[in-house]
Amino acid sequence: MSDSDLLNSNFVAWMDSRAGSESDIVISSRIRLARNLQYITFPYFMNAESGNKSMQEISDAWKNSELLSQMDLITFDQTSTLDRQILVEKHLISPEHGLSAESYRGLLASKDGSIATMINEEDHLRIQCLLPGLQLEKCYKLAQEIDDELEQQLNYAFDEHRGYLTACPTNVGTGMRSSVMLHLPAIAISGQRSRIFQNINQLGMTVRGLYGEGTEIVGNYVQLSNQITLGQTENEIITNLGIISRQIVEQEKMLRKSLQEEMKYQLEDRVGRAYGILTNARVMNSNEALALLSDVRLGVDLGIIEGISLFVINQLVVAIKPAHLQKRNGGEMEAFIRDVKRAEVIKEILLKSSK
């Protein structure tokens, strides 16, 4: 089936800033488990026959499980290009996965998007759990429940010495990739970003943009994740990322406090100008909007702006993306018209939420 609230709702679980710790800085936590089916070609070399075979096995597992059958199975041959892009913008599937329209590619997801399992992306299964704030342990527990349920009905490709076999060698072993999405404006404003990110890379972590691998850092949103899985246990991966994330959070808090003490008027002016532009502009491109929303979010965090919740900002960051704007408008729009519509949406949501 492809009829899902995830395609129409403005809400997914990771947006709820009221849940999870450190949610002023840590937007979301994610655990992803890469799994493949035994004796079926990996997706990169897949043809229609092997692809449909893998989809059939996964679909049967979905139907036969009380837990899994509560989720929505979205198949991409019955999903429009726009709706697949909607799923990308909500962080439920990868940009590459969103390009596919084959019948054997799809998504198995919970109603609120907290569980989103990509089917036949780079691996046959990529089980993801996404929750707000810093909740890596809870993410892992939920992802593991889905993994255990699937493994009861499916034969995984597994080697006693190497662990779970995956399409990319860096995922072999646990098959687990853990990540957190962080908002780090004070680190950027203070000019500390390059130094801190270099130190992170030396600790075996990688820093990417809002939509993961291959995306640039915009609006001071960064995704921090482990680089390798082989030779490490799941608990070690989660613990290491948790420690580094908390260190970054502390540095961001310290720099925010310093900015408030040493640059009070400049900081308030920056936040006020950003809010003024966002609530008055007639044309706004995506990168400019994210940069200005980053300043407004900082103002909300520090109490400079009142009446706007972080939840609204989280929703707005997604609502201004191209596919969401076109869905809201009821059809495709050329780039300039999207920029006009984006300015209208930002103004409408910010002014409405601040009343």
pLDDT in tens, 215-253: 678 889 999 998 776 678 899 999 999 999 999 999 999
Fill in the DSSP letter of residue 103.
T
Q: Looking at the structure, tell me whether residues 188 and 267 fall in a common domain.
A: no
Q: Looking at the structure, tell me whether residues 79 and 207 fall in a common domain.
A: yes
Check residue 33 and give its pLDDT.
96
Mean pLDDT of 193-213: 82
The C-alpha R_g of the chain, in whole angstroms, comes to 21
147 closest CA partner among 39, 43, 31: 31
- How many other β-carbons are positioned within 10 Å of the β-carbon of residue 354? 14
Q: Looking at the structure, tell me whether residues 65 and 173 fall in a common domain.
A: yes
- How many other β-carbons are positioned within 10 Å of the β-carbon of residue 134? 24
Contact 244, 200 (CB under 8 A): yes
Q: Looking at the structure, tell me whether residues 218 and 249 fall in a common domain.
A: yes
**Beta carbons within 8 Å of 24's beta carbon, 6+ residues apart:** 17, 183, 301, 310
115 has pLDDT over 50:
yes
% of the chain with per-residue pLDDT over 70: 97
Residue 91, SS3? coil
Domain count, the chain: 2
353 has pLDDT over 70:
yes
Q: Which residue has the tokens 């994210």?
A: 290
Q: Looking at the structure, tell me whether residues 96 and 185 fall in a common domain.
A: yes
Measured distance CA(75)–CA(107) in Å, rounded: 7
Check residue 213 and give its pLDDT.
64
Range of the domain at 272: 263-353
- How many other β-carbons are positioned within 10 Å of the β-carbon of residue 328? 14
Measured distance CA(1)–CA(76) in Å, rounded: 10
158 closest CA partner among 125, 135, 183: 125
128 has pLDDT over 60:
yes
Fill in the DSSP letter of residue 20.
S
Measured distance CA(328)–CA(75) in Å, rounded: 22
Confidence of residue 8 (pLDDT cuts 50, 70, 90): confident
Q: Looking at the structure, tell me whether residues 227 and 313 fall in a common domain.
A: no
Alpha-carbon 225 to chain mean position: 12
Q: Looking at the structure, tell me whether residues 237 and 272 fall in a common domain.
A: no
Check residue 355 and give its pLDDT.
62
Q: Looking at the structure, tell me whether residues 289 and 159 fall in a common domain.
A: no
The predicted-structure confidence for 284-324, as pLDDT tens digits, reads as follows 999 999 999 999 999 999 999 999 999 999 999 999 999 99
Measured distance CA(157)–CA(163) in Å, rounded: 9
Is the pTM of the predicted complex or chain greater than 0.95? no
Tell me which of 214, 236, 255 is where a domain ends.
255
Q: Looking at the structure, tell me whether residues 137 and 20 fall in a common domain.
A: yes
Q: Looking at the structure, tell me whether residues 107 and 164 fall in a common domain.
A: yes
Check residue 120 and give its pLDDT.
97
- How many other β-carbons are positioned within 10 Å of the β-carbon of residue 146? 22
Measured distance CA(253)–CA(41) in Å, rounded: 48
Measured distance CA(56)–CA(91) in Å, rounded: 25
4 has pLDDT over 60:
yes
Contact 117, 108 (CB under 8 A): yes
Tokens representing 353 are: 């939420």
3 has pLDDT over 60:
no
Check residue 214 and give its pLDDT.
60
Q: Looking at the structure, tell me whether residues 174 and 94 fall in a common domain.
A: yes
Q: CATH number, domain at 236?
A: 3.30.590.10
Work out the mean pLDDT of the chain and round it to a whole number. 93
Tell me which of 255, 277, 312 is where a domain ends.
255
The predicted-structure confidence for 14-29, as pLDDT tens digits, reads as follows 999 888 889 999 999 9
Tell me which of 228, 255, 282 is where a domain ends.
255
Q: Looking at the structure, tell me whether residues 179 and 53 fall in a common domain.
A: yes
Check residue 2 and give its pLDDT.
45
The predicted-structure confidence for 70-98, as pLDDT tens digits, reads as follows 999 999 999 999 999 999 999 999 999 99
